[in-house]
Structure 1
Amino acid sequence: MNVEAVQALGGLGLFLVGMHMLTEGLRGLAGDRLRRILRRSTETPFKGATAGALTTAMVQSSSATTVATVGFVAAGLMTFQQALGIIFGANIGTTITGWLVAIVGFKLDLGLALMPFVLIGALLHLLAPNPWKYLGWALAGFGVLFIGIDALKDGMGAFGSLITPEVFPADTFLGRLKLVALGMVLTIVTQSSSAGVASALAALSVGAITLPQAAALVIGMDVGTTFTALVATIGGGTATRRTGLSHVIYNLLTGCMAFALLYPVGWLAQSGWGLAIDPQMALVGFHSFFNFIGVVAVLGVTPQFARLIIWLVPDRGTSMTRDLGRQPLTDPAAALDAVNAAAQRIVAALLHELGRGLNRPAADIRDETLEEIGSATRHARDYVEAISTEQGSAELQNQMALLHLFDHLDRLRHRAMQGDRIAAAVEDASLLDRGLKLGALMRGYDATADIAHFAAQADMLRRDFRDFRRRHRGEQIMLVASHGKEPQNLSLLLDSARWLQRSAYHLWRIADLLREIEGKEPGLATQEQLLDEETD
C-alpha cells in the first residue's frame, strides 16, 4: 500500500510539473499575441470575458492572463472596469484543463504512448531556436502531464477499497462545507486548482468519493485559487490589489451559488437519471457550468462591481507610482507597461512644476513637490531594476531606455532646486527670451499628443541654447570688461545660461527616450550629439 501511496503522490507531482511546463511553453509560443488579444477586447465586458476565457485556455494559465491585464490597467491602457471582464472570463478558461483530463487522461492510457514526446520535446527545448524551443517545452509538458495522470490513476486504484465515500464527511449541509474547506486546503497546498480537479477525478473514477462530494471539493478548489491572488496583493500597487480583491469576491460569490447547486446535483446522482451520466464528465460539466453562470450573472453589474472594488481599495501613496506592485514583475512586458505609464506621470509632474518657475510672473517651485517626484523616481528606478529581461529582447531595450530616462529626470529635478539660476533665467534681459521659451515648452508637455514632435522641438531648443551660450559668455565678459555692466552678477548670469543649456539638453533626452519607449525603436540621439554636449 505504501508503494501505491508514493505512486499517487508522485503522479500528482508529475501532473503539477507537466502543467507548469505546458503553461510556460504555450505562453512562450503565444508571445505578444496574448497581449494583443487582451488589449483589443475591452469594448464591452462580454468581449473582455470572451478574450479572458480564450487566452487562458490558450496558455493554460489564468495567472498569465491576470498579470498581463494588471499591467494594462497599471499602464493606463485599459480601465479597471474594462479589465474585470477579462478576469471573469479567465475563470471559464481554467475549466478547459478539467475537460482535457476527463476526456483524454482518464478515458485513454496515454502515459506510455506519450513518453517519446517527452524526449522529443526536451531535445527541441535544449537544441532548437525559438519558437521551437517553446514548442518543445510545451510538448514535453504535455507528455509529463499525462504520465502523471496515469501514475495518479494507478496509485488511487489501490485505495478504492480503503477510501470510500463513508470516510469523507456525510452528505449534509455541514458535511458539504467541510468538503469545500478540504478542497480549498488542497488547492492552497498544491497551488493549482487543475491538480485538485485531477485528484478529484481520480478519486471519483475508483469510487472513493461520490459525485456530490467531488462537486463540493471542486467548489472549494475554485475558492482556494483566490489565496494566490491574496498573497500577490501584499505590497502590490493599486491595480494589483483591486484585481486580487475582485478575484476573491467574485469567486466567493460564485462559490456560494455553486454550493446551492449541490442539492440538484445530489438529487440527480441519486435518481435514475444520474445512472446514465458519466460521473467524471458530470463533474467537469458542473465545474464549467457554475463558472459560466457566475460570469453571466456578474457581467450585467460590472460597473457597480467595479465601483465597489474601487471604494474598498482606494488609491494610496503618490499617484505617480501607485500601480507599481510586485505581481506584474512576473511578466516583464506587463511590468514595463506599468512603469512606462509611471514614467510619463513623473515627467509630466516635473515639467509642470519647473515650467511654473520659468514664467512671467514666475511661481515658486515647491520643495515638497520636488521631494515627491524624487521619491517616485527612486521607486520607479528600483522597480525597473527588479524586472528580469532576456538578453537581446525588446524588453531589455525598453528597460535600458527607462533607466537612462530616470537618470535624466533626477538630474533635471536637481536643477529645479537651483532657484537663483531659474530666477535669473526669466529676469535678466539677456536670458529672458530663452528662459520663457523653455518654460513654455515644458508646460506644453501635458497637451502634447505627439512625443516625436515634442522631442524634435526640444532638440531645436537644445541646439539653439548651446550656440547661444557660447555667444552669451563672450558678450557678457566683454560688457564687464568695457564697464558696460557691473561684474557682481557675471558669475550668476553665466551659470544661469549654462543652466538653460543643460536643462534643455535633459528635456531633449527625456523626450527622445520617451519616444523610443513609445515607439519601441532606437532613439534619435546619436553618439556624436551626446558627445557634443558638456557633461555635468
Structure 2
Amino acid sequence: MQGDILTLLGGIGMFLLGMRLMTEALGQLGSRQLRAVLRRLTTSPATGALAGAVTTAAIQSSSATMLMTIGFVGAGFLTFPQAVGVVFGANVGTTVTGWMVVLLGFKLHLATAALPLLFASGLFAALGRGQAARVGAMLAGFSLVFLGLDMMQAGAEGFGGMMIPEALPADTIGGRLALLALGVVVTLVIQSSSAGVAMTLVLLGSDAITLPQAASMVIGMDIGTTFKSVVATMGGSRDMRRTAMAHVAYNLVTGAVAFALVGIAVPALDQAFGGDGPAALVAFHTLFNLIGTLLMLPVTAPFARLIERLIPGSGVVLAESLDRRLLADAEAALDSARGATSAVAAALFAALGARLRRGGTDAALRDLAPRMGPVLDDIGDFLIRIRVPEGKTDTLARRTALLHRFDHLQRLWHRTRQEERLRTLAADPVLRRPTETLGAALRLAAAAPDTAPNDARMRRITRLIGERTGRLRRSALLAEHAGLVSPSGVFERTDAIRTLQRAAHHAERVIHYGLVAAGEAQEAKPAEQEP
C-alpha cells in the first residue's frame, strides 16, 4: 500500500513537472502570436472570452493567460471590462486539459509512446538551440504528462482499496459541500487545478470515487485555483488586484451554479456518455464553465463596476509603481513598461503643450514635478530588471526600443525644467510661431502618444522646426556680428532655439519608439539628429 501511495504521489509530481515544462515552452514558442490574438480579439467582453479560451487552450495554462492579461491592463491595451471577458474565457480553455487526459491518456494510452518521445525531446534540448530547444522542452513536458498519468493510474489501483466511495462523505448536500472543500484543499496543496482534475479522473476511472463525488471535488478545484491569483497579486498594482478579485468572484459564481446542477446534470451526462465516468466528468467541467461564461457576459459591465468599487483607486497610472511580479514574463513586463512610459509621455506632452501655447503657464509642469522623478526612477529600475530569454530577438528589440524611449523621456523632462529658455521661446516674436506649433502638436499627441498619425505629424514638425531654427540661429549670429544684438542676447536666443529643437526631437523619438516597442513600426533614423 505504501508503494502504491508513493507511486500515486510520484505520478502527480511528474504530471505537474510535465505541465510546467509544456506550458513554458508553448508560451515561449507562440508568445508573440498569442499576445496578438489577445490584443486583437478583445474588442468586447465576448471576444475577450473567446481570446482567453483560445490562448489558454493553446498554452495549457490559465495562469499564463492571466499574467498576459494583467500586463495588457497595466499597459492600457485592454480596458478592465475586456480583461474580465478574458478571465471568463480562460476558465473554459483550461478544461481542454481534462479532455486531453481522457481522450489521449485513457483512450490511447500514450505512456508507452511517450518514452521514445522523451528520448527525442532530450536530444532536441541537448543539441538544439533557440526554437529547437523549446520544441524539445515542449515534447518533454508532453511526455512527462502522460508518464505521470500512467503512474497515477498504477498507484490508484492499489490505493482504491483504502479510498472507497463509502469512505468519503455521503452523496448529500452536506457531503457534496465537504467534497467541494476537499477539492479546494487539494488545489491549494498541489497548486494546479489541472493536476487535481487529472488525479480525480484517475480515481474515478479506478472506481475509488463515484461520479457525483468527483464532480463536487472538481467544482472545489476550480474555486481553489483562484487562490494562486490572490497570492500573486498581494501588494501588487490596483489593476492586478482587480483582475484577481474578478477571477475569485467569477469562479465562486460558476461554482455555485455548478453545485446546484450536480444532482441533475451529472446523471444525465453519465447516461449520455454510456457510463463513461471520466468523459462525463470532463463534459460536466466544461459545461458549467460555459454556462458560467454565458451567464456573466451580459452583466460584464456592472460586474466590472462592482469590482472597481470593491478595490477603488485613482485612474492616474503615473503615480502607481510597476509590479515586479510581471518580471517573470518578459513580454508581460514589457507591455506594462510600455504602458507606464505611455502614461508618462501623455502627461508630459499635455503639460509641456500647455506651457508652449500663447499665454501658457508652467502650472501643469509644476504639478507634475513631484511625481515625475520617482516614476521615472521606477520605470528605469523596472526596465533594467527585465531579462529576455535567449533567442527571443523580437522581445530583445522591444526592450531596446523601450530603453531608448525612456532615455528620450528623461531628456525631454530635463528640457521642461529650463524655465528661462521656455520664457524666451514664448516672448520672442520670431520664435513664437514654431513654439506654438510644437505646443499644439504635443497637446494632440497627449491624447494618444502611441499612434502612427501622431508619429508622422511629430516627425514632420520636427523636420520643419529643425530647418527654421537653423536659419534663425544663423540670422542671430549675423545680427550679433552687425552689432544689432548683444552677445548675451545671442546666447539667450540660441539656447532657446536649441531647447525648442531638442524638445521636438525627443518628443518625436518618444512616440516613434513607442510604436517600435509595440511592433507597429520598424526602427528608423530620427527626422533630425540631435544637434
Show the counterpart of 2:147. Answer: 147
- Match for 1:337 among 324, 335, 338? 335
1:91-135 CA-to-partner distances (Å, cap 9, x unmatched) read 111111112212332345432332000011221233235544333
**Mapping of 1:151-166 within 5 angstroms?**
151-166=151-166
Q: Does 1:316 align with 2:314?
A: yes
When the two chains are superposed, the root-mean-square deviation of aligned CA atoms in Å is 3.0
Show the counterpart of 1:124. Answer: 124
Show the counterpart of 2:283. Answer: 285
Show the counterpart of 2:404. Answer: 404
Show the counterpart of 1:351. Answer: 349
Show the counterpart of 2:170. Answer: 170
Asked whether the 8 Å contact 2:273–2:280 carries over to 1, the reply is no
TM-score (norm 1): 0.88
Show the counterpart of 1:306. Answer: 304
Q: CA deviation at 1:386?
A: 3.0
Call closer, same or farther: CA 1:513–1:297 in 2, change over 3 Å.
Answer: closer
Asked whether the 8 Å contact 2:477–2:490 carries over to 1, the reply is no
Tell me, in whole angstroms, the C-alpha distance in 2 between the residues paired with 1:42 and 1:472.
Answer: 55
1:361-410 CA-to-partner distances (Å, cap 9, x unmatched) read 13134423122233332333333233322356122122122122222212
Tell me, in whole angstroms, the C-alpha distance in 2 between the residues paired with 1:468 and 1:73.
Answer: 46
Show the counterpart of 1:33. Answer: 33
Call closer, same or farther: CA 1:425–1:179 in 2, change over 3 Å.
Answer: same
Call closer, same or farther: CA 1:30–1:401 in 2, change over 3 Å.
Answer: closer
Call closer, same or farther: CA 1:278–1:509 in 2, change over 3 Å.
Answer: closer
Show the counterpart of 1:363. Answer: 361
Tell me, in whole angstroms, the C-alpha distance in 2 between the residues paired with 1:227 and 1:73.
Answer: 20
Call closer, same or farther: CA 1:516–1:92 in 2, change over 3 Å.
Answer: closer
1:453-485 CA-to-partner distances (Å, cap 9, x unmatched) read 312321332354355335424534x46xx4x55
Asked whether the 8 Å contact 1:238–1:325 carries over to 2, the reply is no
Secondary structure at 2:161 match in 1: coil
Call closer, same or farther: CA 1:241–1:326 in 2, change over 3 Å.
Answer: farther
Q: CA deviation at 1:34?
A: 1.7
Asked whether the 8 Å contact 1:321–1:379 carries over to 2, the reply is no
Contiguous gaps of at least 5 residues in structure 2: none
Asked whether the 8 Å contact 1:74–1:323 carries over to 2, the reply is no
Asked whether the 8 Å contact 2:458–2:507 carries over to 1, the reply is no
Show the counterpart of 1:382. Answer: 381
Asked whether the 8 Å contact 1:394–1:520 carries over to 2, the reply is no
Asked whether the 8 Å contact 2:438–2:461 carries over to 1, the reply is no
Secondary structure at 1:398 match in 2: helix
The one-letter amino acid paired with 2:51 is A
The one-letter amino acid paired with 2:458 is F
Asked whether the 8 Å contact 1:358–1:438 carries over to 2, the reply is yes
Q: Does 1:522 align with 2:520?
A: no
Aligned length, in residue pairs: 524
Contiguous gaps of at least 5 residues in structure 1: none
Deviates more, 1:187-196 or 1:334-343: 334-343
Secondary structure at 1:261 match in 2: helix
Tell me, in whole angstroms, the C-alpha distance in 2 between the residues paired with 1:46 and 1:507.
Answer: 37
Show the counterpart of 2:227. Answer: 227
1:223-272 CA-to-partner distances (Å, cap 9, x unmatched) read 01101111222233343222211111000011111122233367779xx9
Show the counterpart of 1:78. Answer: 78
The one-letter amino acid paired with 2:75 is A
Tell me, in whole angstroms, the C-alpha distance in 2 between the residues paired with 1:355 and 1:98.
Answer: 56
Asked whether the 8 Å contact 1:193–1:221 carries over to 2, the reply is yes
Asked whether the 8 Å contact 2:454–2:511 carries over to 1, the reply is no
Q: CA deviation at 1:161?
A: 1.6
TM-score (norm 2): 0.89
Tell me, in whole angstroms, the C-alpha distance in 1 between the residues paired with 2:97 and 2:423.
Answer: 66
Q: CA deviation at 1:149?
A: 0.9
Asked whether the 8 Å contact 1:384–1:399 carries over to 2, the reply is yes
1:500-534 CA-to-partner distances (Å, cap 9, x unmatched) read 343334334334433533534113239xx65xx45
Call closer, same or farther: CA 1:31–1:275 in 2, change over 3 Å.
Answer: closer
Deviates more, 1:211-220 or 1:160-169: 160-169
Q: Does 1:451 align with 2:455?
A: yes
Q: Does 1:465 align with 2:497?
A: no
Asked whether the 8 Å contact 1:451–1:514 carries over to 2, the reply is no
Call closer, same or farther: CA 1:487–1:457 in 2, change over 3 Å.
Answer: closer
Show the counterpart of 1:2. Answer: 2
Deviates more, 1:413-422 or 1:486-495: 486-495
Asked whether the 8 Å contact 1:105–1:146 carries over to 2, the reply is yes
Tell me, in whole angstroms, the C-alpha distance in 1 between the residues paired with 2:32 and 2:196.
Answer: 30
Percent of residue pairs identical: 41
Tell me, in whole angstroms, the C-alpha distance in 2 between the residues paired with 1:396 and 1:138.
Answer: 22
Show the counterpart of 1:241. Answer: 241
Tell me, in whole angstroms, the C-alpha distance in 2 between the residues paired with 1:447 and 1:289.
Answer: 43
Asked whether the 8 Å contact 1:56–1:62 carries over to 2, the reply is yes
The one-letter amino acid paired with 2:230 is L
Tell me, in whole angstroms, the C-alpha distance in 2 between the residues paired with 1:331 and 1:198.
Answer: 27
Q: CA deviation at 1:488?
A: 6.8
Tell me, in whole angstroms, the C-alpha distance in 2 between the residues paired with 1:490 and 1:121.
Answer: 71
Asked whether the 8 Å contact 1:21–1:140 carries over to 2, the reply is yes
Call closer, same or farther: CA 1:319–1:278 in 2, change over 3 Å.
Answer: same
Tell me, in whole angstroms, the C-alpha distance in 2 between the residues paired with 1:257 and 1:275.
Answer: 22
Call closer, same or farther: CA 1:331–1:158 in 2, change over 3 Å.
Answer: same
The one-letter amino acid paired with 1:179 is L
The one-letter amino acid paired with 2:379 is A
Call closer, same or farther: CA 1:434–1:228 in 2, change over 3 Å.
Answer: same
**Mapping of 1:186-205 within 5 angstroms?**
186-205=186-205
Call closer, same or farther: CA 1:274–1:38 in 2, change over 3 Å.
Answer: closer
Asked whether the 8 Å contact 2:153–2:202 carries over to 1, the reply is yes
Q: CA deviation at 1:40?
A: 3.2
Secondary structure at 2:95 match in 1: helix
Tell me, in whole angstroms, the C-alpha distance in 1 between the residues paired with 2:46 and 2:506.
Answer: 45
Asked whether the 8 Å contact 1:342–1:380 carries over to 2, the reply is yes
